[in-house]
Structure 1
Amino acid sequence: MDGRSEALRGLRILVAEDEMLVLMEIEDMLGELGCVVVARASTVAAALAMADDTALDGALLDMNLRRESILPVAEKLMARNVPFFFITGYAGRAGETPILADALRLTKPFTKRVLSNAMVQAFAGRN
């Protein structure tokens, strides 16, 4: 395991993703990077509950869960000082709020290396 991956070992992560196969792939990559998925959500309501009550080092948030914006979850995480980034299948940024426009995002599909780099950038020093 390299130094970048070692920096991620043990991080407690929330993954909000509504496509089961994508969720499973992300969980596999996170496991290979040494992270622990402590919460997973496929709806905004579930993600909000987990963002409230779960000890987290970071979160990966699909921008839309079942056609509902993830923005309330991002706001909750910001209030708790939990870093996050967005994962999305959309490349555009038009009409976004500052939270969405300024946040780091990965465009699906992405590789484990790209995920690792983004996590080190977003969650550095959380472990």
Structure 2
Amino acid sequence: IVIDAAGKSLSTIATEAKDLANRAKEGKLQPTEYQGGTASISNMGMMGIKQFTAVINPPQAMIMAVGAGEKRPYVMDDGSLGVATVMCCTGSFDHRAIDGADGAQLMAAFKTLVEKPLGLVA
């Protein structure tokens, strides 16, 4: 659990997440470090899984499943054919806490940032 992620820089979140992941692999996390939270990210892409649907971890309200990127033929903005790295991300939302339309807006914003990552620092 990254506490108060909204109030932290991207580099701080990355550092904390890396530390948490390393300690999780070593079995050294305290229960307060993995219980609670609002949302999760499940990344099976690093294991070559292209697409999957993750199950929400109660009491959290959402989880995003991130699949592997793969090179595919792609029609570019100018209409030409090129090659792009494409990945599948799926959002699962507990509709008691997050309206589906709001979840769709979150996924659209995520797509925009992944496609144009300089938007994270601009």
* TM-score normalised by L of structure 2: 0.31
Higher relative contact order (CA 8 A, sep 6+): 1
* TM-score normalised by L of structure 1: 0.30
Larger radius of gyration: 2
